[in-house]
Amino acid sequence: MEVLRLIFNRGRRRLWTSGSSDKNKAMVEQLERCGIVQSKRVKEVMEAIDRGLFVPAGSGSPYHDSPMSIGYNATISAPHMHATCLELLEKHLQPGMRTLDVGSGTGYLTACFAMMVGPQGRVVGVEHIPELVSFSIDNIKRSAAAPLLDNGSLSMHAADGRQGWPEMAPYDAIHVGAAAPEIPQSLLDQLKPGGKLVIPVGTVFQELKVIDKNPDGSISVRDETSVRYVPLTSKAAQLKAY
């Protein structure tokens, strides 16, 4: 039995990168030198969550600043995009706060969110490809965020994220990891007054939009930067050419 387990584990190690905390730390330090990582908390969380544990092996170095394919016509975003979104949402990721991550893919950023809000907080990841949901859960279980999955403060779900996740609403922070043709009303509805939504919007040309719900319920929108994300769409449309 033990021998079988060893063989199985050896096989798994060949399938997925094993992660390297030194290289991960160097990646975060480089993002800090570029001014993309600015806050101490974002730095600590990106150092604690090893990106190498979230990337399929054979697709290049997980620590290079570029997006990588994760199958199913999806990608893990580049480290500088993850850092940018963590910095944009930092004040809305305080201990005890609630966060929704739509298009959670590998689970990397969802795990970072969970570390930011801690065991008293609540983070929900929604991803519409069930295989990616299983993949993300396996990844998180091997990461520093595993206890947060165990205690229920972090949960991952297979569903259409365009509807958000009303069960846990309202949220202090909502992040969307895929580009929507327009800002989904359901996500605005699930944002707390005082909450912040970060979402790429557009088709060919996309802008990362930062949306604040003001205390009176009105909305302020600004463009942060031009981006290129996979579309927030139906499962059938995403898998059509796969």
Q: Any idea what DSSP says for residue 216?
A: T
Residue 75 makes contact with ligand SAH by CB under 6 A:
yes
How far apart, in whole angstroms, are the C-alpha atoms of residue 206 and residue 228?
6
Q: Kindly indicate which of the ranges 35-43, 127-135, 187-195, 220-228 contains the residues binding ligand SAH, using the contact rule CB under 6 A.
A: 127-135
Return the active site residues.
77
Residue 126 makes contact with ligand SAH by CB under 6 A:
yes
Residue 106 makes contact with ligand SAH by CB under 6 A:
yes
What is the nearest approach in angstroms of ligand SAH to the Cβ of residue 143? 13
- Cα angle 17, 53, 86 (rounded to 5 degrees) comes to 140
Which listed residue (62, 105, 184, 202) binds ligand SAH by CB under 6 A? 105
How far apart, in whole angstroms, are the C-alpha atoms of residue 92 and residue 185?
20
CA 120 to chain centre: 19
Q: Based on CB atoms, which residue is closest to ligand SAH, 129 or 191?
A: 129
What is the nearest approach in angstroms of ligand SAH to the Cβ of residue 213? 21
Structure tokens at 83: 């850092």
Which listed residue (128, 196, 209, 213) binds ligand SAH by CB under 6 A? 128
Q: Restricting to residues 132-171, which ones interact with ligand SAH according to CB under 6 A?
A: 132, 160-162
Q: Kindly indicate which of the ranges 25-33, 71-79, 187-195, 200-208 contains the residues binding ligand SAH, using the contact rule CB under 6 A.
A: 71-79
Residue 230 makes contact with ligand SAH by CB under 6 A:
yes
54 near 16, Cβ under 8 Å?
no
Residue 65 makes contact with ligand SAH by CB under 6 A:
no
For residue 41, count other CB atoms closer than 10 A to its CB: 15
What is the nearest approach in angstroms of ligand SAH to the Cβ of residue 10? 26
Residue 129 makes contact with ligand SAH by CB under 6 A:
yes
**DSSP bridge pairs for 206:** 202, 227
Q: Based on CB atoms, which residue is closest to ligand SAH, 19 or 105?
A: 105
CA 134 to chain centre: 15
How far apart, in whole angstroms, are the C-alpha atoms of residue 197 and residue 126?
15
CA 195 to chain centre: 18
What is the nearest approach in angstroms of ligand SAH to the Cβ of residue 147? 21
**Residues with Cβ within 8 Å of residue 46, at least 6 apart in sequence:** 24, 27, 28, 31, 37, 79, 82, 83, 86, 112
Residue 100 makes contact with ligand SAH by CB under 6 A:
no
Residues near ligand SAH (CB under 6 A): 72, 74-77, 102-106, 108-109, 126-129, 132, 160-162, 177-178, 230, 232-233, 238
